[in-house]
C-alpha cells in the first residue's frame, strides 16, 4: 500500500489537506478526482517525492518502482522523440560496446569487469534489450507521433508531441506503478484506443488524473475523491463512485436534517429556561448536548455543478446554415482539405474527429470564414449567425479589462445575474470576476474567451476544443447546456464524455479524405475498435463508401438517383460475394499469422534460455531473426485488418 499518514499541505492561506490519512493499493488502477485546484497534482508529486507535505509522511513500499507522467512537459534539450523514449536504456543500446570494454577488462585482470558483464546480461534479459528499438517505435506509432517526427528535436515540436514522447518513455520503462496526470490530453481517438489497449495489458497499478470520465470508467477499478481537504477511497470506477457518493450525500443530508431539528429544539429549551433557577441544570445539560450534536454534523460540500446556465439561440437559420461545394483549403501550397462536399443541417450537433494534424481545426476555420477556400465555395445559409471559438480568441482579449467587463461587453443580455452565472459556469466566481485579464493563466484565458462567445451564441456555434482546461463537473455542465441549445453546433474535442452526450453526427477527417458517420460516438468507436483490433491503424478504411467527400448521410445531399430494386439485388449479391472473398482471404492470413507467432515464440524461448546467455553470436542472430519475423507479422496483420 502507498500510505499517506496524517498529511497536511497549504499554499498561502489555502489549505489543500488537513491531517489526512488514507492508503492507495499499488496493484489497483485508481482514479484521482476532485475540482481544479483541489490538490490532485500535488498528491502525485508527493508520491514521486517531487513535493513534501507540510506535516505527515508518504510511505512507499520498498522495492516499488514508480513512474510519473507530469501534466506540464519541459522541453528536453535537443533530444528527439525516439531518443526520449529510449533514454532510460541508453546503456543497453550500447550493449556491444560495453561488452567489448568489459571483455578487455577481463583480459587485463579486472575482476569487476565480469560482474559488469553479468549485470548487463541480467538487464538485457529483464528488459528484452534486443527488442527495445522495435518496441519504442511501436509505442511512438501507437501514440500517433508521425514517423518523420521521430528524429526531430522535441524543442521544435508541439506540447502535445512532447507529452506523447514522455508518455512513450514511461510505457517502455514499464515501472511497477504509474502516476498519470492527464494522459489523454492531446490524444486523438486512434491514439486513445491504442493507449487503453496497451494499459489494459499492463501488470502494475496506476493512479490516474483525467478530465475524461469515460476513460476513467474503462481504465479504473477504484476512485480516490478529494473533498473538503480530505481523501476518500471508493470501490469501483467513476460511475460507481457517483452512485456511492449520491447515497452518502443523501444519508448525510438526512442526518444533518435530524441533527438540526434536535439542535433547534434544544436551543429553544435553553432560550426559554436559561433564566429560571429551577431549570438551570437542565439548560446547562442542553447546552452540552447542543455542542455534542453540532460536532456530529456532517460537513456537506456545496457542489459547483449546481450552477446551471442556458445558452439562448438568436433565431432560426435556414434549413442548411452551412454548405461546402467541391471545396479545398490549406495554407500556402499545402492542401489540407481537398474537394469536400458537405451539408450541415439546422439543429445538427456535429463532432469533428480524426488524427491530429489531419485538418479538423482547418475545417472549422474554413466554415467560420477565417480562412478562404483555395477552390470551390463555402456557402453561408439564410439568417445563419456564426460564433467561432478558437485559440486565437485569447490574443484578442483586453488585458486591462476585468473578467466581468469582458463577458458583459459580449453578452446578449445586460442582466448582471446572467453575466455572473455565465462566469460561474466557467469557474469564475466571487471577487475573482473583478480581476484583470492580464493576470490570468493560459487556461483561465481560454475559459474566459469561451464564456464570452457563449453569452451571445448566435444560432451556429463552431467550437475548437471547448473542454480544454475544464474539470469533470464543468464538462458535465457544458455538455448539458449545449445539448439544450436549440442552434447548430460543430465542434472539435478529444473528450469522449462531451462528444457522446452532445453529438448526433460524427465527421471523420483523415489525411486526404472526410467521411460522414450519422449517429453516436459509441457507433464510431466500435467501428474503430473493430477496424484496428489491437493496432492503432493508419485509417485506411474498410473499403466502404460511407458518404465520403459527398457530404451525404443524415442531413446530407444525395448526388445520385435512388437505385432500382434490381440494382439493389445485384448490389447485395456483389457485396455477399466480396464478403465471402474477404473471409477466405482473412482465414488464410490468420493461418499464416499463427505460424509466424509460433516461430517468434520459439526464437524468444531460445533468446531467453540461460544456457545461451554467453553465446553472443547466437543471441545476435536470434534477435535479428525475431526482428524480421515481427516485421513480417506486422505486414500480415495490416493485410488482415484491411480485409477483416
pLDDT in tens, 330-367: 888 888 898 999 999 999 999 999 888 788 889 999 99
Tell me the pLDDT tens digit for each residue of 42-72.
999 999 888 999 999 999 998 898 998 887 7
> Could you give the angle at the alpha carbon of 303 between the alpha carbons of 302 and 304, nearest 5°?
115
The pLDDT of residue 219: 92
Q: How far is CA 342 from CA 451, 463, 542, in A?
A: 29, 18, 21
The pLDDT of residue 479: 87
Q: Which of residues 507, 532, 557 is at a domain's end?
A: 532
The pLDDT of residue 545: 36
- β-partners of residue 67 are 178
Same domain for 338 and 279? no
Same domain for 418 and 500? yes
Task: Kindly tell me if the per-residue pLDDT of 544 is higher than 50.
Answer: no
Same domain for 166 and 278? no
410 assigned to some structural domain: yes
* Cell numbers that stand for 517 in this block: 458517420
Q: How far is CA 363 from CA 273, 276, 335, 479, 556, in A?
A: 76, 81, 12, 22, 17
The pLDDT of residue 577: 58
The pLDDT of residue 254: 87
- The CATH number that applies at residue 30 is 3.40.50.300
350 assigned to some structural domain: yes
16 assigned to some structural domain: yes
The pLDDT of residue 42: 92
Same domain for 233 and 296? no
Handedness of CA 137, 142, 147, 150 (dihedral sign): negative
- β-partners of residue 351 are 491, 506
Using the structure block, give the residue that is written with the C-alpha cell 470508467.
Answer: 217
Chain centroid to Cα 365, Å, comes to 24
Same domain for 503 and 432? yes
Rounded-to-integer distance, Cα 113 and Cα 107, Å: 9
Band the pLDDT of 483: cuts 50, 70, 90.
confident
Q: What single-letter DSSP state applies at residue 402?
A: B
Rounded-to-integer distance, Cα 522 and Cα 583, Å: 25
Same domain for 213 and 350? no
310 assigned to some structural domain: no
Q: Which of residues 221, 241, 261 is at a domain's end?
A: 241
Report the domain count for the chain.
4
The pLDDT of residue 606: 79
Domain of residue 69: give its range: 2-92+127-241
Rounded-to-integer distance, Cα 442 and Cα 72, Å: 13
Whole-number mean pLDDT of the chain? 81
Same domain for 421 and 477? yes
Q: How far is CA 330 from CA 337, 372, 378, 511, in A?
A: 6, 9, 14, 12
Same domain for 443 and 375? yes
Task: Kindly tell me if the per-residue pLDDT of 83 is higher than 90.
Answer: no
Question: Nearest-CA neighbor of 322 among 381, 372, 377?
Answer: 381
What are the DSSP E strand ranges found in 219-333? 222-227, 230-235, 322-331
By CB atoms closer than 10 A (0-12, 13-18, 19+), residue 108 is: exposed
Backbone Cα Rg of the chain: 30
Same domain for 279 and 217? no
543 assigned to some structural domain: no
* Cell numbers that stand for 457 in this block: 451564441
Same domain for 234 and 257? no
Task: Please answer whether residues 204 and 13 qualify as being in contact, where contact means their C-beta atoms are separated by less than 8 angstroms.
Answer: no
632 assigned to some structural domain: yes
Q: φ, ψ for residue 58 (rounded to 5)?
A: -115, 120
Rounded-to-integer distance, Cα 461 and Cα 163, Å: 30
Same domain for 407 and 465? yes
Residue burial 119-138, b: 16+ Cβ < 10 Å; e: rest:
ebbeebeebbbbbbebbbbb
Same domain for 44 and 160? yes
Rounded-to-integer distance, Cα 44 and Cα 39, Å: 9
432 assigned to some structural domain: yes
Residue burial 538-557, b: 16+ Cβ < 10 Å; e: rest:
ebebeeeeebbbbbbbebbb
100 assigned to some structural domain: no
Band the pLDDT of 156: cuts 50, 70, 90.
confident
- β-partners of residue 334 are 331
Max avg pLDDT among 83-87, 219-223, 414-418, 630-634? 219-223
Amino acid at each position: 500500500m502507498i500510505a499517506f499518514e496524517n498529511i497536511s499541505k497549504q499554499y498561502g492561506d489555502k489549505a489543500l489537506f488537513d491531517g489526512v490519512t488514507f492508503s492507495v493499493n499499488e496493484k489497483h488502477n485508481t482514479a484521482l478526482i476532485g475540482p481544479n485546484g483541489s490538490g490532485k497534482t500535488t498528491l502525485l508529486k508527493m508520491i514521486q517525492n517531487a513535493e513534501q507535505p507540510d506535516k505527515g509522511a508518504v510511505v512507499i513500499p520498498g522495492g516499488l518502482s514508480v513512474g510519473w507522467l507530469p501534466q506540464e512537459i519541459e522541453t528536453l534539450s535537443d533530444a528527439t522523440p525516439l531518443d526520449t523514449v529510449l533514454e532510460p536504456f541508453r546503456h543497453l543500446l550500447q550493449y556491444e560496446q560495453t561488452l567489448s570494454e568489459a571483455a578487455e577488462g577481463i583480459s587485463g585482470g579486472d575482476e569487476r569487469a565480469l560482474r559488469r558483464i553479468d549485470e548487463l546480461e541480467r538487464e538485457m534479459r529483464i528488459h528484452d534489450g534486443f527488442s527495445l528499438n522495435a518496441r519504442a517505435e511501436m509505442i511512438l506509432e501507437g501514440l500517433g507521433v508521425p514517423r518523420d517526427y521521430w528524429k526531430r528535436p522535441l524543442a521544435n515540436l508541439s506540447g502535445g508531441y512532447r507529452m506523447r514522447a514522455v508518455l512513450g518513455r514511461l510505457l517502455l520503462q514499464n515501472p511497477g506503478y504509474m502516476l498519470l496526470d492527464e494522459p489523454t490530453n492531446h490524444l486523438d481517438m486512434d491514439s486513445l484506443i491504442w493507449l487503453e489497449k496497451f494499459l489494459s495489458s499492463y501488470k502494475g497499478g496506476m493512479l490516474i488524473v483525467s478530465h475524461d470520465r469515460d476513460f476513467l470508467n474503462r481504465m479504473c477499478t477504484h476512485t480516490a475523491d478529494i473533498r473538503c481537504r480530505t481523501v476518500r477511497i471508493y470501490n469501483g470506477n467513476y460511475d460507481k463512485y457517483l452512485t456511492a457518493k449520491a447515497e452518502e450525500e443523501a444519508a448525510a443530508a438526512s442526518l444533518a436534517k435530524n441533527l438540526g431539528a434536535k439542535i433547534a429544539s434544544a436551543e429553544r429549551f435553553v432560550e426559554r429556561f436559561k433564566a429560571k433557577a429551577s431549570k438551570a441544570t437542565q439548560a446547562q445539560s442542553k447546552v452540552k448536548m447542543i455542542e455534542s450534536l453540532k460536532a456530529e454534523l456532517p460537513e456537506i460540500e456545496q457542489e459547483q455543478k449546481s450552477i446551471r446556465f442556458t445558452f439562448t439561440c438568436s433565431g432560426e437559420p435556414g434549413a442548411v446554415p452551412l454548405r461546402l461545394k467541391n471545396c479545398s483549403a490549406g495554407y500556402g501550397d499545402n492542401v489540407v482539405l481537398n474537394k469536400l462536399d458537405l451539408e450541415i443541417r439546422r439543429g445538427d450537433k456535429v463532432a469533428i474527429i480524426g488524427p491530429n494534424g489531419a485538418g479538423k481545426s482547418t475545417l472549422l476555420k474554413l466554415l467560420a470564414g477565417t480562412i478562404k477556400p483555395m477552390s470551390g465555395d463555402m456557402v453561408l445559409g439564410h439568417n445563419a449567425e456564426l460564433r467561432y471559438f478558437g485559440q486565437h480568441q485569447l490574443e484578442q482579449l483586453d488585458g486591462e479589462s476585468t473578467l466581468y467587463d469582458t463577458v458583459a461587453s459580449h453578452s446578449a443580455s445586460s442582466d448582471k445575474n446572467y453575466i455572473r452565472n455565465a462566469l460561474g459556469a466557467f469557474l469564475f466566481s466571487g471577487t475573482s470576476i473583478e480581476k484583470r485579464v492580464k493576470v490570468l493563466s493560459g487556461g483561465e484565458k481560454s475559459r474566459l474567451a469561451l464564456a464570452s462567445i457563449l453569452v451571445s451564441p448566435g444560432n451556429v456555434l463552431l467550437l475548437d476544443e471547448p473542454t480544454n482546461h475544464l474539470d469533470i463537473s464543468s464538462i458535465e455542465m457544458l455538455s448539458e447546456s449545449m445539448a439544450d441549445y436549440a442552434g447548430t453546433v460543430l465542434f472539435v474535442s478529444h473528450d469522449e464524455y462531451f462528444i457522446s452526450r452532445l453529438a448526433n453526427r460524427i465527421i471523420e477527417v483523415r489525411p486526404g479524405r472526410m467521411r460522414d458517420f450519422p449517429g453516436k460516438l459509441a457507433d464510431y468507436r466500435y467501428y474503430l475498435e473493430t477496424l484496428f483490433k489491437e493496432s492503432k491503424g493508419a485509417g485506411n478504411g474498410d473499403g466502404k463508401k460511407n458518404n465520403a467527400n459527398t457530404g451525404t448521410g443524415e442531413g446530407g445531399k444525395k448526388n445520385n438517383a435512388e437505385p432500382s430494386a434490381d440494382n439493389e439485388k445485384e448490389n447485395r449479391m456483389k457485396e455477399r460475394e466480396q464478403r465471402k472473398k474477404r473471409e477466405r482471404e482473412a482465414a488464410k492470413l490468420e493461418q499464416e499469422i499463427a505460424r509466424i507467432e509460433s516461430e517468434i515464440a520459439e526464437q524468444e524461448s531460445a533468446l531467453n534460455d540461460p544456457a545461451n546467455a554467453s553465446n553472443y553470436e547466437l543471441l545476435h542472430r536470434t534477435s535479428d531473426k525475431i526482428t524480421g519475423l515481427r516485421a513480417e507479422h506486422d505486414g500480415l496483420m495490416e493485410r488482415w485488418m484491411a480485409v477483416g
